[in-house]
Structure formats: C-alpha cells, structure tokens
Structure 1
C-alpha cells in the first residue's frame, strides 16, 4: 500500500548532478512520487498480520453497517417511488376531470352570452383558475340555474383538491430525490469499505494467508467451545425447570386445592407450541439456503445478506419481519442468551449491523460477510461480547 512505502533519502544531487537550491524541492517531489509507485514496502513499515486481520474485520463490520443503511434507504426509496407514482396518477385523473368540468362550465357561459342572459364577464368568471374568484363574485350565482350552480360547486371543489394533490406530489418527489441520494451514498460507502478490505488481503503473502487461516481456525475452535458451554447450561436449565415442574405437580396432587385445569405450573418457561411450529418452518427454510453466497443488499432466492436471510426465513413461516436489523430487533420479545430457543434472532455489535437465526446448542445459521456463504456457525464466532441481544419474533 502506498502509505506503507519507505522513500529513499533525498539530497541536493539528482543523477549525480548538483542542482540549484531553488530546484531541489521540485526535483525531490518528483523523486518521491516515483518511489511511491515503485519502491518495495519496508518490513518496518508493513503492518503486522494481526493488524491486517483487525483492519479487515473492522472494514467488513463497517460494510455490514453500511449495508443495513443501504437496505433502509432502498426500502424507503421503493415505498416513496410507489407513493409518487400513485399521486401522479391521481393528479392526472383529477386534471382530466377538471378539464371536463371546465368545458361544461364554458358551454354554460357561452349559452348565456348568446341568449343575452349574462354579460361577457360571466364567462370569465366561470373559466377562472382561482376558487377565490368564485367567492368574490358570488352574486353572479343568482343568474345560474340549479344544475349550473352544482357544476360550479363541483368545479371549485375539484380544482382545490387537484391543487392540494399537486403540492403533495411535489413534496413526495422531493423526498424521493433525498432518499435516492441517501441510497447512492450508502452504496458507495459499502463498495469503498469492501474494496479497501480486498486490497489489504490481496497484499498478503502466501505465508501470511496461511497464518491468517490458522488464526481463523483457532477463533472457530474457541467459538465452538463457548457454544458447547452454552448448550450445557441450557440443558441444565431445562432439566432444573422440568424437575421443579414435577415437584410442583406432585405437591398440587397431594393438596386439597382444586387444579386450575391447565396442566402447567405457573411461571413455566416451556416453549410455546405455536412458536415452535413456526420456528421449525423458518429453520427449515434457512437450512435450505446453506451454501448460497452472501451478497450485500440481497434478499434471495439466489443470495442473501444477513437481514435478508432472516426476513426470508420467517416469511416462510408466515411471519413478516422488517427489512433491516435496526427494525428486526424491535419486532419481537427480547430474551436472555441463556434462554434462546431455535428460531430466535441473534443480533450482534452495538450498531446492530449483523443478525443470525438461532438453531440451538449455541449455534446459528447466518449470512456472514462478502466472500462467504450462508452457513451454520457458533453465535460466539466473533467473541461473546459481540452479541447484542436475542429476540423472539413470533
């Protein structure tokens, strides 16, 4: 990378020729630019493999956050475009009806003028663009028939409504333009982050790439260990609850108090049957997507980003989730990680830039990042502290 090049010392000689003092600075700048493009990086200036790994991970996370902003802007733009199209269609229809009403009023005015029952000013009044003209000249209505008065009232009403809709359409167009600008900015941010990450990885030597792969394997092993610990804690908690439920049931059976007929103890955390059924459908869908590539902004069926996958999975269970992680985190009940059930949504990082679908035993299905594929992985894949919250969406 250019920022890691080390330039050679420069002096008052270039190609063995002593140069005038005033020319030295310019020639030195040319030499520096040339060396930046051709010099080999110095080992002292090269970042360590750990620094590269951290930088790449940070860039992927930043790209993930930018992707969710892109998703939000895209959704807003799509909705706003539909609204604008609807408004413009409505304005066009109203304008057509307004023109027809204008023609009808014009025929009335012409007829009155020909018969002498009205002065030429009446025609000007009937064809006026401003509804205020109608109010200011209200005394002229005395010359009109009941049918003609209805036509005037209808025209004025349609004119006012059409003007209102035109203003509304203009405001919506301005909002659409703003949304499109936000979408363009978010897209450029994602592309810039990913491009920088790819450049960093491309400059690694074969040995460094092998070492980086070994570091990643160790992280996965540690994540798997933590997942197994969570699975054990959850199993122990379920066993404790079942034992407590049995004891309470035995105590109730031996007491004289009537049963409530529910067959369940108060405070039981037994999974809801309805939720379990929906979760199975969501998980079945998610498992069928394993191996498909992560593509930022994608919602399937050939590729997904993280929130696109969770949205599609729960849609298969007839549950509608919002498009972005920022909204999905509010689309259900928050539960402790220790009580996570299959089907729950696991959110990561303070900026909520990632989400996966919990499958039990400390594992999840998720669309990780660019260059990766939908896969099963420990929810501790990026460390325990990266988990933000767990949400039960149905």
Structure 2
C-alpha cells in the first residue's frame, strides 16, 4: 500500500481508528455517494487477507485524492493569478481608451480649424493677415501639435493593440482553467464514489478485524517513527534558522488537527496547507502547492536535513512534510487522518528544501 497511509504516533488519532469511523472519510471529501466501479467485491475467506485488501484499496483511494487535491490547489492559484492579471490589463485598456478618446477630440478640433482655414491658399491667407508673423507662429504650432498628436495616437493605438492581445490571452487562459476546474471536479466526484465503496468494504469487516487493524497500524507507526517505546526522539540537531524553528514549532502545535482538502488552517490542513500556515507564523509566505514548495528554497541532501526543512515526497512531488529531526517529519497525511509525526523513510523522498 502507499507507505504514507499510516497511523500517527501517540498524540494524534490513528488511521485505522479514523477508518473504523468511516464517516471521517466522507467528511474529508465532503460527501458520500452510491455504488460505483469500486463496489465491494466478494470478501476473501482468510480474515487477514480481507483486512489487507481493504487497507490497500483505501490507501490507493487516499493517494489519488491527495494528488487531485494538489492539482486543484495549483489550478486555483493559477486562476487567481490570471484573474488579477486580467483585471490589471482591463484597467490599462480603459485608461488607454480614455487617452485615445481625448486625442480624437483634439484631432477633431484641429481638423475643424484647418477646414475653416482651408478655403484660402496659405500664401493668400498670409497676405491677408494683419499680423503675418503671428499667423506663421500659429501655423507652425498647429503643424507641431498635429505631429505630436499623430505620434501619441500611434503610440496609444499600439499600446491598446498589445493590451487587447494580452487580454485575449488571459481570457483564453481563464477559459482553459475553467475546463481544468470542471475536470478536477469530475475527478473528485469519482474519488467520492470510491470512498463510498471503501466505506462499504470497511463496514464488511467484523469488530474484531477492525480492532486488530487498529492495533497493527499503531504498532507499525511506533516502529517507523519512534526510537524508543514511547515517543519519537527528534535528536538535538538545531533548526536551520530562527524562522525554521518557529515554523517547526507551529507545525508541531497542530499535531492532531484533521486533514481537509484545500485547507490552510488554522484548525484543518492538507499537506501543503500545513507547511504554508506554519511558515506564515514565521513571517514567510510559501507557495501554495507541494510542487511549488519544492522550488521555494535551496535544495539539500536528506543527510543534511535540519529541523524546519521541507521534505518533498514521491516522484510527482504531490506530498510534503516538515523535517522535525531524528529522521522524523511532521505532516498532514491524508483524508480521515490527522497531523502527526512520521518516519522520513515511510515515503519515497523526492527532495529536501531549506527555506
């Protein structure tokens, strides 16, 4: 099964207990639906095989849900960015249009004046002027003004063309993001259906099987993250900075908080949301998604990891935790579970980032 789908250490609720309370899984994604492609199969006759099958299926569902959640977070961030850009462009276009309208008025005024004077040849007009010098001065000024207006008009028109082009690009991108949003909504609906099927699978276990599953998961979690029998030994290696120490203290203070899709605290979190909130307490604004957080600082090796560093997991970088020391991370694991300690080796490490 997905190795990060494990129960937490003492101090938080175990995965298996959350799974026994199957409504928690439904709450994590917002709804439960009817039978789907993942309907409960014929149960294996061996009880140990049956519980292992349930565990494997639920782990897979949670892994898919978390990947969809991080994609949704990224799409929402991109959508907000493009909406801000489109608004800015529209303001620029409006300002440019006002300038253009003003120029049109000036040009119309100049054209009317030239039309009124256009009935006479300029040489005749000069001879008839009582003040020829003043006439020449006005003529030169009109020519210069017309030249400046022409240059300005050309500049504004070119600017408007560029702004219109950028606005069209932004509108197209927003339409693309809307398509992505609909696709992600459909994906999450599919996940909800599968979680409903998983609930039915869990409901097919006996009370003794559920209790044994919880006990096995508790013991496995303790072995993974704790050097001793009671709690993890985080070692005495210092944090990489004062801000990292503050961020780590904030993350640890949220142990036991529920995992909820798209949440950045302060009471519920997804994996990247916990990192985002914790570092905000240290005065640092991280990117929103685990993939973007992978580029939020300097890469170091796992052997160099210090408390407060971000640990990015899996090849597609869809999960993130914070190094707490002693080979342990603190993270928000998956729906139905709570913020907890976990061994850094419980998941494949993609990279370590020092903010």
Please indicate the TM-score interval, normalised by the length of the shorter structure: 0.7 to 0.9
Structure 1 113/289 Cα, relative in aligned 2: closer, same or farther at 3 Å?
Answer: same
Contact 2:82 2:174 in 1 (8 A): yes
Q: Secondary structure at the match of 1:357?
A: strand
Is residue 372 of structure 1 aligned with residue 333 of structure 2? no
| Residues 393 and 180 (structure 1), Cα distance of their counterparts in 2 relative to 1, 3 Å cut | farther
Gaps of 5+ in 1: 1-39, 120-140, 239-269
Q: Quick check: which has more Rg, 1 or 2?
A: 1
Residue 311 of structure 2 contacts residue 353 of structure 2 at CA under 8 Å; is this kept in 1? no
Work out the CA distance in 2 between the residues paired with 1:314 and 1:364: 15
Secondary structure of 1:48 counterpart: helix
Match of 2:176 among 144, 161, 178: 178
Q: How many matched pairs?
A: 296
Which residue of 259, 273, 285 corresponds with 1:320? 285
Classify 1:371/1:328 alpha carbon distance in 2 versus 1 (closer, same or farther; 3 Å): same
* SS in structure 2 at match of 1:145: helix
Higher relative contact order (CA 8 A, sep 6+): 2
The aligned residue for residue 347 of structure 2 is 386
Query: Which deviates more, 108-117 or 224-233?
Result: 224-233
**Structure 2 counterpart of 1:107:** 109
Distance in 2 between residues matched to 1:300 and 1:110, nearest whole Å:
66
Cα shift at 1:385 = 5.5
Question: What secondary structure is seen at the aligned counterpart in 2 of 1:347?
Answer: strand
How far apart in 1 are the matches of 2:170 and 2:195? Answer: 38
Q: CA deviation at 1:350?
A: 2.9
Using the alignment, how far apart are the partners of 2:86 and 2:57 within structure 1?
A: 42
State the Cα RMSD in Å: 3.4
Secondary structure, aligned partner of 1:377: strand
TM-score by length of 2: 0.72
Name the counterpart of 2:275: 310
Report SS of the residue matched to 2:287: coil
TM-score using structure 1 length: 0.66
The whole-number CA distance in structure 2 between the counterparts of 1:333 and 1:101 is 52
Please give the alpha-carbon distance, in whole angstroms, between the structure 2 residues aligned to 1:118 and 1:66.
77
Q: 1:93 aligns with which of 82, 92, 95?
A: 95
Structure 2's unaligned 5+ residue stretches are 1-39, 122-138
Q: Which residue of 1 aligns with 2:266?
A: 301
Q: 1:284 to 1:379 in 2, by over 3 A?
A: same
Q: Report whether the alignment pairs 1:76 with 2:74.
A: no
